[in-house]
């Protein structure tokens, strides 16, 4: 399954701050259909992600009935991404 969407980069300011992009509702519905076949626990879903020219693997995190894409610092540096930027995200889920 491949999904593409745009979203704003936001920060969770906990003891270990992290940056995320929220997956839009329509795409969350598609992911939910495949979730049972691919989740490895706590609702986490392994994905391949591309933003700009950078590819990496991570897991979608469940949040508030939807999903968020965590953005590694290395990805943000490589692509010049800052808090509040809107980025185009390509997700690939192996179902």
Are the CB atoms for 69 and 90 separated by under 8 Å?
no
Task: Kindly report, residue by residue over 5-62, the tens digit of the pLDDT.
Answer: 999 999 998 777 799 999 999 999 999 888 878 887 778 899 999 999 999 999 999 9
Question: In terms of residue numbers, what domain contains 63?
Answer: 2-92
Q: What is the pLDDT of residue 43?
A: 81
Angle at CA 8, nearest 5°, toward 7 and 11?
130
N-terminal to C-terminal alpha carbon distance within the chain: 7
State the pTM of this model: 0.89
Assign residue 53 the CATH number of its domain. Answer: 2.40.30.100
- Tally of domains within the chain: 1
**How is residue 77 written in tokens?**
């540096």
């Amino acid at each position: 399954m491949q999904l593409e969407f745009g979203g704003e980069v936001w920060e969770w300011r906990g003891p270990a701050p992290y940056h995320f992009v929220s997956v839009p509702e329509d795409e969350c519905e598609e992911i939910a259909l495949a979730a049972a076949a691919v989740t490895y626990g706590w609702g986490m879903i392994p994905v391949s992600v591309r933003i700009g020219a950078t590819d990496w693997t991570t897991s979608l995190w469940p949040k508030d009935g939807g999903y968020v894409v965590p953005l590694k610092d290395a990805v943000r540096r490589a692509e010049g991404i800052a808090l509040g930027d809107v980025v185009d995200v390509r997700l690939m889920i192996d179902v």
